[in-house]
Amino acid sequence: MADLLDNMQAEPSVLEYIFSLGMKGNHLLFDNQRIRKAFEKNREELADLGSEKAGELRRVLKEVFQIPNLEGKRDYIAGLPEELQHVLIFLYFQIVEKNLMMNQHSTH
């Protein structure tokens, strides 16, 4: 699922900004209640769902990063079906976690 971001045409600085803040615990694209609801779901189920909906996720991610401001991005995501929001949150946190682990290894 993480390879979904590989083909995105988003400006790297926007992605870097969102993920760098995410690594510090500031999650700009999702509110806390939405994150909590997503983490109540089974991780394997979300991963399987993400695999099933890979094409739709690519489209959604591309659209999210074409929106010029963060508030617009948040509003767009909030308007998606809840199931898709949960998969996006799951994917986002997988990427944040991977970046945290990579940074830990590079500092030691």
For residue 97, pLDDT over 80 is answered with yes
Q: Within 13 Å of residue 11, how many CA atoms lie on the same side as its CB?
A: 7
Residue 46 or 96, more confident: 96
| pLDDT over 90 percentage in the chain | 36
**Alpha helical stretches, state H, the chain:** 12-23, 32-39, 43-52, 54-66, 70-78, 82-107
Cα dihedral 71/69/46/5 (nearest 10) = -170
Domain borders along the chain are 2-107
- Per-residue pLDDT, 9: 45
Residue 84 or 9, more confident: 84
pLDDT band at 27 (very low <50, low <70, confident <90, very high): very high
For 105, list phi and psi in degrees, rounded to 5: -70, -30
Determine the residue type at 23.
M
- Per-residue pLDDT, 12: 59
pLDDT band at 71 (very low <50, low <70, confident <90, very high): very high
Question: What CA–CA distance (Å, rounded) separates 78 from 72?
Answer: 10
